[in-house]
Amino acid sequence: MGNDLAAAADLLSSATDVTVLAHVSPDPDALGSALALGLALRARGATVRVSFGFPAEVPKSLRGLDTAGLVVPASEVPVSPLLIAVDCASAQRLGVLAELVPQTIAAGGRVLVVDHHVANTRFGTDHLLDETALATVVLVLDLLDELGWSLTPDIARCLYAGLIGDTGLFRRATADTHAMAARLIDAGVDPTAVTRELCDTHPFAWLRLVSAALSRAQLVPDAAGGQGLVVTVVSLADLAGLDPEDADSVVDLVRTTEEAEVAAVAKELTPGRWSVSMRAVGSFDVRAVAAAHGGGGHRLAAGFPAQGSAEDVLMLIKNAFA
């Protein structure tokens, strides 16, 4: 990765106008990576904007990361000389902003892709890719180190959010992960505050949502090669009065089922349109299932889109692991 890292650093060192894009429905790794780069570039005088194709606003749990107000609506993103796409395996993951990739190239600009997904399609002009990295924020920190740019508390906080997000609160951590976390804490991160904001704060109505989702959970012992599947759905009715992201933590509750290697939760986004999140304990590759259904992710955490009734989606998931 050495040559790619040096080339990416060279792009950033001379950049004066930069757009940084996270994937649709940004998670802590995607938005944390984008904002960390944006904050570092802005501190050096560059004009910077950060955006994503969907939803219209920053997810509630991530709003505290945008301390400099860098996020702009997708409709206001111009073509800039340097476009950086973070945590995106393909241009399609940029949603409506995918059109900026060919537009930037046609205008003579550069497109830098920074990502850790093994299935990355290399859709940019320049790439910083490492599928062995547990999170894209790891590559962002490598890039900042290559540039010799120091960590501010705000940048460190964005990186820490991505680190805990993509390692499942350090469940999938390595010694290097903990060393990076220690460095970020030394740079000013309050780990208790960040974790609470990202993972441990919900409105009271969330308890009703969880109760409904867990009450309809189903265990399929013979699925996933006999290792077991636990599955449930979160409907739009369950989400009444809540933000869609309030359903994201359900899969981590369901995955604690002792009898199941795999957990899957389907969240209804609009009537008949669903997002399926999957988690595996350790031996099953849910990424392969996601890819077969038009999605993606990692070996132990992946997802895919689905359509139909709740019963249709439940059957789709069960068949996928039959």
What DSSP string describes 225-283?
HHT-EEEEEE-TTTTTTS-GGGGTTHHHHHTT-TT-SEEEEEEEEETTEEEEEEEESSS
> CATH 3.30.70.1400: does it fit domain 205-320?
no
Enumerate the domain spans of the chain: 2-199, 205-320
What pLDDT was estimated at residue 2? 62
Q: What is the pLDDT of residue 283?
A: 87
d(CA 298, CA 172): 12
The third-level CATH classification (topology) of the domain covering 2-199 is inorganic pyrophosphatase (n-terminal core) (3.90.1640)
Residue 311 scores a pLDDT above 70: yes
Nearest C-alpha neighbor of 275 from the set 295, 256, 300, 250? 295
Single pTM value for the model: 0.90
Three-state secondary-structure class, residue 75: helix
State residue 62 phi and psi, 5-degree precision.
-105, -5
The per-residue pLDDT for range 155-193, each reduced to its tens digit, is 999 999 999 999 989 988 999 999 999 999 999 999 999
Mean pLDDT, the chain, integer: 96
Q: Which residue, among 166, 200, 164, has the nearest Cα to 185 in the 3D structure?
A: 164
Structure-model confidence comparison of residues 5 and 244, the more confident one? 5
Residue 302's pLDDT band (boundaries 50, 70, 90)?
Answer: very high
Q: Which residue, 232, 214, 218, is CA-closest to 274?
A: 232
- At which residue do the structure tokens 């409907």 appear? 235
Whether 1 shows a pLDDT value over 80: the answer reads: no
Contacts 24+ apart (CB under 8 A), 195-198: 195/164, 195/169, 197/61, 197/64, 198/28, 198/61, 198/62, 198/161, 198/164, 198/165
Residues 6+ apart with CB under 8 A from 109: 79, 80, 81, 82, 83
User: Two tokens at 287?
Assistant: 């990424």
